[in-house]
A and B are shown apart, each in its own frame.
Chain A
Amino acid sequence: MTALVNCRNVEKSFTKGKQTVEVLAGINLSIEEGDFLALMGPSGSGKTTLLNLIGGLDHPTGGEIEVNGKNLNALSSKALARWRSENIGFIFQFYNLLPVLTAQRNVELPLLLTKLTRGQRKKNAATALEIVGLADRGKHKPGELSGGQQQRVAIARALVADPKLLVCDEPTGDLDRDTADEILDLLQTLNAEHGKTIVVVTHDPKAADHARHTLYMDKGKLAEAVSM
């Protein structure tokens, strides 16, 4: 297997006024294609920050990030936007669906950036909804769906452009135990059967059970995986 994600000496600091907060202090990380990685650690340790860098939502202040053979440092924000739409699926704690659009249209949204025809877009969105088990909920608005269902729609939206890498920031953080397990099962299926590489930031120890690897983060540094 080749490494899909390569972080070399990645640093990130935020400057507010005169104060500079160093959040990531030289991260070295490589994630193999097909991996399912759980990233754990205390609040404020920099998990989200690292995930955002891998997903191309932000630029590092030091070091290099390479994803799917592309050096992200070199991309302009416009090029990065395009790159994200083709390569990364994002899943958030609070689903982040657009409330004014139906589930079907939320899922279709990323495809507006592709050259697909209207018919193809609709078809692909329907397929993605089917994969997450919500084929019959396409016409519902997010407000009419449960938290677990909304997260499934969000997963369908992350899948629809067929990216290699899914990055998930506490995808079960807002769900009850059973629903959380269903979502974790779904992610596991996507990893095992659809070959998606998945990085999950989580506080949920059970998430680690579904992952192939677990990494711990503390104060902006990665610690060795401790097997439990």
Chain B
Amino acid sequence: MSTFSLIWANLFRNPTRTSLTVLSVVVAFMLFMLLRAIAAAFAGGVDLAGVDRLVVSGKYSAIDSLPISHVRQIQAIEGVDLATHQHWFGGIYQDPRKFFPKHPVPPETYFEVFDELIIEPDVLARFAATRVGALATVSLAERFGWKPGDIIPILGDIWVKEDGSRLWEFELVGTYAYPPERSGGDEFLLQYEYFTESVIDHGKDAVGWITVRVSDTDRANEIAGTIDKLFENSADATRTATEDQFRRQFAAQLGDMGFITTMILTAVFFTIVLLTANTMTQALRERIPELAVLKTLGFTDSAVSLLVLGEALMLCLIGGVVGVILALFLEPGLNAQAVAFIGNFEMTPLTITSAIGLSVLVGLIVGAVPAVTAKRLTIVDALRQR
């Protein structure tokens, strides 16, 4: 027998109570992971967004589209190095639940502006040369087991084709990837050229937003002002922001929801922690004579106190680890749902580490009162309680 097995044995004193306590800790940590993922998604890309890039979108709503002619006009502005554009596509692949974002883009400029994306030159060349060509991120291709040459059918929901058909078919020409420090989740790119030629009339010659690379980062503010001024009095006024601001502006529409969710989850988390602390404190009461016996046998006040703390730690750590594992199992599903709206919904190693760290902290908090009680316990008084 070891001290560890003494702690372990105590966890099995009342298996029902222990299981329920562990279960509530598990739930608390699943919530925590979810919370972190949501928070991270809302703050997505903050430190990675290139300061040399600006995003131009509709002035009044990030989802209003802009005329393609804006791109040419912006490109002509002094200080603009290169402009590219993306668009909303929507669409259903097989089943609405198998969601992933799809964007029509111009192959030539897109990968030049987003030069951190990793793509083989020949894949890019094939994308540019194939009218119905499409690219998937590596993760997306893996998710559905797609191979280059596969035909990917997408049912248009926002966009119907000119001929009235809703079926879009793309040929996967290859994959690209986000750099390791910035995983971009699932994403699907199709040729803008093909899109605008095939789409129903009212969808033609429009883009969702324009991304601009500036030649001099110090002039980013000035250039943003110039762009917005240029379209100030047109029917399609713009709002130019950094990528980060753009994402946040868009997220702000969901932000209130995010805030409320965060508040609720936080409240639930702390309620669970408090309940666990209460359970542990109550459970300790029945054991006071036993702890007195340990002290009688020569275990010091600190040793007994550490035993009690060790139990709380073990309980919370088990709950934390199980909670994290369950959350990781849920992640792919959540990610697919969220990535289009709030960016990258992902549980990073940092989230996992902080969850485990937090479970240790919770263990310390939950075990604090019992540990102090155990430490202060005087043998003579405790034995008289019998």
Q: Chain A interface (Cβ within 8 Å of chain B)?
A: 52, 55, 57-58, 77-78, 81-86, 90, 92, 94, 96, 98-101, 105, 108-110, 112-113, 118, 121, 157
**30 interchain pairs, CB-CB under 8 A:** A55-B296, A57-B296, A58-B380, A77-B301, A78-B301, A78-B302, A81-B295, A81-B299, A82-B298, A83-B298, A85-B298, A90-B296, A94-B386, A96-B290, A96-B296, A98-B293, A100-B13, A101-B1, A101-B6, A105-B5, A105-B9, A109-B1, A109-B6, A109-B294, A109-B297, A110-B297, A110-B298, A118-B1, A118-B2, A121-B1
Number of residues on chain B facing chain A (CB within 8 A): 26
Which residues from 348 to 386 on chain B have a C-beta closer than 8 Å to any C-beta of chain A?
378-380, 383, 386
CA–CA, A82 to B298, complex, Å?
5
Taking the closest CB of chain B, its distance from the CB of A174, in whole angstroms, is: 11
- Which chain B positions have C-beta within 8 A of A84? 296-298
Q: Which of B1, B295, B300, B380 has a CB less than 8 Å from the CB of A112?
A: B1
B1-32 contact mask (Cβ, 8 Å, vs A): 1 or 0: 11101100110110000000000000000000
Query: Nearest 8 CB-CB pairs, A to B?
Result: A85-B298, A100-B9, A96-B293, A81-B300, A84-B298, A57-B379, A110-B297, A58-B380
**A77's closest neighbor in chain B, by CB?**
B301
Taking the closest CB of chain B, its distance from the CB of A118, in whole angstroms, is: 7
Contact across chains for B13 and A99 when beta carbons are under 8 A apart: yes
- Which chain A positions have C-beta within 8 A of B300? 77-78, 81-82
Which residues from 309 to 367 on chain B have a C-beta closer than 8 Å to any C-beta of chain A?
none
Q: Which of A58, A101, A113 has a CB less than 8 Å from the CB of B299?
A: A113
- Which chain B positions have C-beta within 8 A of A110? 297-298
Contact across chains for A81 and B1 when beta carbons are under 8 A apart: no
**B298's closest neighbor in chain A, by CB?**
A85
**A125's closest neighbor in chain B, by CB?**
B1
B270-309 contact mask (Cβ, 8 Å, vs A): 1 or 0: 0000000000000000000110011111111110000000
Instruction: Known contacts A78-B301, A110-B298; decide if A96 and B289 are in contact (CB<8 Å).
Output: yes
- Which chain B positions have C-beta within 8 A of A58? 378-380
Contact across chains for B297 and A105 when beta carbons are under 8 A apart: no
- Which chain B positions have C-beta within 8 A of A57? 296, 379-380, 383
CA–CA, A107 to B294, complex, Å?
12
- Which chain A positions have C-beta within 8 A of B13? 99-100
Contact across chains for A52 and B1 when beta carbons are under 8 A apart: no
Contact across chains for A92 and B383 when beta carbons are under 8 A apart: yes
Taking the closest CB of chain A, its distance from the CB of B307, in whole angstroms, is: 10
Contact across chains for A86 and B298 when beta carbons are under 8 A apart: yes
Q: Which of B2, B3, B290, B380 has a CB less than 8 Å from the CB of A98?
A: B290
- Which chain A positions have C-beta within 8 A of B1? 101, 105, 108-109, 112, 118, 121
Q: Chain B interface (Cβ within 8 Å of chain A)?
A: 1-3, 5-6, 9-10, 12-13, 289-290, 293-302, 378-380, 383, 386
CA–CA, A178 to B232, complex, Å?
104
Taking the closest CB of chain B, its distance from the CB of A92, in whole angstroms, is: 7
Q: Which of A83, A109, A121, A157 has the most chain B CB atoms closer than 10 A to its own CB?
A: A109
- Which chain A positions have C-beta within 8 A of B290? 96, 98-99
Contact across chains for B296 and A112 when beta carbons are under 8 A apart: no
Contact across chains for B297 and A113 when beta carbons are under 8 A apart: yes
CA–CA, A77 to B290, complex, Å?
19
Instruction: Known contacts A57-B296, A84-B296, A86-B298; decide if A112 and B12 are in contact (CB<8 Å).
Output: no
- Which chain B positions have C-beta within 8 A of A90? 296-297
Taking the closest CB of chain B, its distance from the CB of A111, in whole angstroms, is: 9
CA–CA, A58 to B299, complex, Å?
15
Q: A86-B298, A96-B290, A105-B5 are in contact. List 14 more A-B contacts (CB 8 A).
A: A52-B380, A58-B380, A77-B300, A78-B301, A78-B302, A81-B295, A84-B298, A98-B294, A100-B9, A101-B1, A105-B1, A109-B6, A109-B294, A113-B297
**A87's closest neighbor in chain B, by CB?**
B298
- Which chain B positions have C-beta within 8 A of A99? 13, 290
CA–CA, A9 to B12, complex, Å?
47
Contact across chains for A100 and B380 when beta carbons are under 8 A apart: no
CA–CA, A166 to B1, complex, Å?
24
CA–CA, A100 to B383, complex, Å?
19
- Which chain A positions have C-beta within 8 A of B9? 98, 100-101, 105
Q: Which of A109, A112, A157 has the most chain B CB atoms closer than 10 A to its own CB?
A: A112
CA–CA, A109 to B298, complex, Å?
10
**B302's closest neighbor in chain A, by CB?**
A78
Taking the closest CB of chain B, its distance from the CB of A87, in whole angstroms, is: 9
Taking the closest CB of chain A, its distance from the CB of B278, in whole angstroms, is: 22
CA–CA, A106 to B293, complex, Å?
11
CA–CA, A58 to B386, complex, Å?
18
CA–CA, A90 to B297, complex, Å?
8
CA–CA, A218 to B45, complex, Å?
81
CA–CA, A121 to B2, complex, Å?
10
Q: Which of B9, B294, B298, B301 has the most chain A CB atoms closer than 10 A to its own CB?
A: B298
**A82's closest neighbor in chain B, by CB?**
B298
Taking the closest CB of chain A, its distance from the CB of B300, in whole angstroms, is: 5
Taking the closest CB of chain B, its distance from the CB of A97, in whole angstroms, is: 8
CA–CA, A92 to B293, complex, Å?
10
